[in-house]
Amino acid sequence: DAGVTQSPTHLIKTRGQHVTLRCSPISGHKSVSWYQQVLGQGPQFIFQYYEKEERGRGNFPDRFSARQFPNYSSELNVNALLLGDSALYLCASSLSGSQPQHFGDGTRLSIL
Amino acid sequence: GEDVEQSLFLSVREGDSSVINCTYTDSSSTYLYWYKQEPGAGLQLLTYIFSNMDMKQDQRLTVLLNKKDKHLSLRIADTQTGDSAIYFCADTASNTGNQFYFGTGTSLTVIP
C-alpha cells in the first residue's frame, strides 16, 4: 500500500510569494495533520483535519491555512512568505485524529 | 502547553544497546510515541505505548514508561550502523485534542 505522499518534494520561493503544498493520506485514513520542522528542531504542529473539518490549530499566524478535500487529501497554503518559513513541511495521516500518525517524506521549502 | 524533552546526542558502539530517554509534562497523554528520522527523510513510526502499559517489546525495541516520573525510554538492542538517525518521542496533550508534541530529537551515532 502507498504511504503518505507529499508534493512537491522541494520548492524555492521568494519573500512575499504564496505557496501551496499537497498531501495524499494513506488509503482509509480520514485525518491529516501538518507540521513544520525547522532544521535542528522537532516538528511543530500547524493543523489537523478530520472528515474535512479543522480539529486543531497550532500557534502559527493567519498566513497559514489549510483544507481537506472529500477524498481526504489536503493542502497547506502559506501567504506572504517570510525567510523564517524556510523549513521541512510534513504531512501525517491517521485513521482518526487520536490514532498513531504516519508521516510523508515532506516538502522542503526554501525562501530566498 | 506540553513540554517534551530529550537529550541531544548519544553515541554507542555497534552491537551494544542504546537507551534514549524522554520526559514529558502532561500526565493525561493517552499514547506516547517513538519516531525515527533519517537524513532528508520524513518521520518513521517505530513504536508506541498506551499510557496504561509499563513496557512494550517489539523485536529489538523495548519501550519503558514510568507515568509517575513522566519518563519514557526507548532501548535498542544490538544496535547497528543502520540505526544511526534522529529519534523523536511524542505525545498528545489532552487539553489540545490530538495535537502531537515532539521533543527536540536525540541524534544517535553508531560507531562500527
Query: Testing the interface with B: which of A10, A24, A103, A108 to mutate, by most B Cβ within 10 A?
Result: A103
Contact A56 B103 (CB under 8 A): no
The answer to whether A108 touches A12, Cβ cutoff 8 Å, is: no
* B98 in contact with A, Cβ within 8 Å: yes
| Secondary structure class of A85 (helix, strand, coil) | helix
Q: Examine the pLDDT at B93 and tell me if it is beyond 70.
A: no
Angle at B47 between CA B42 and CA B52, to 5 degrees: 135
Q: What is the pLDDT of residue B1?
A: 65
Q: What is the pLDDT of residue A100?
A: 86
Contact B100 A105 (CB under 8 A): no
- Whole-number percent of chain A with pLDDT over 70: 98
The three grid cell numbers given for residue B109, joined into one nine-digit string: 551515532
B76-B29-B105-A32 Cα dihedral, nearest 10 degrees? 110
Q: What is the pLDDT of residue A2?
A: 80
Closest partner residue to A42 (CB to CB) among B88, B96, B99 is: B88
Q: What is the pLDDT of residue B96?
A: 60
Separation of alpha carbons B97 and A108, rounded Å = 27
Q: Examine the pLDDT at A22 and tell me if it is beyond 90.
A: yes
* B94 in contact with A, Cβ within 8 Å: no
Separation of alpha carbons A105 and B83, rounded Å = 18
User: Min CA distance, A52 vs chain B (Å)?
Assistant: 15
Q: How does residue A47 score in pLDDT terms, banded at 50, 70 and 90? A: very high
* B30 in contact with A, Cβ within 8 Å: yes
Q: How does residue A1 score in pLDDT terms, banded at 50, 70 and 90? A: low
Q: How does residue B26 score in pLDDT terms, banded at 50, 70 and 90? A: confident
> Average per-residue pLDDT in chain B?
91
Q: Which residues of B touch A34 (CB under 8 A)?
A: none
Q: Examine the pLDDT at B98 and tell me if it is beyond 90.
A: no
The three grid cell numbers given for residue B68, joined into one nine-digit string: 509517575
Separation of alpha carbons B8 and A79, rounded Å = 33
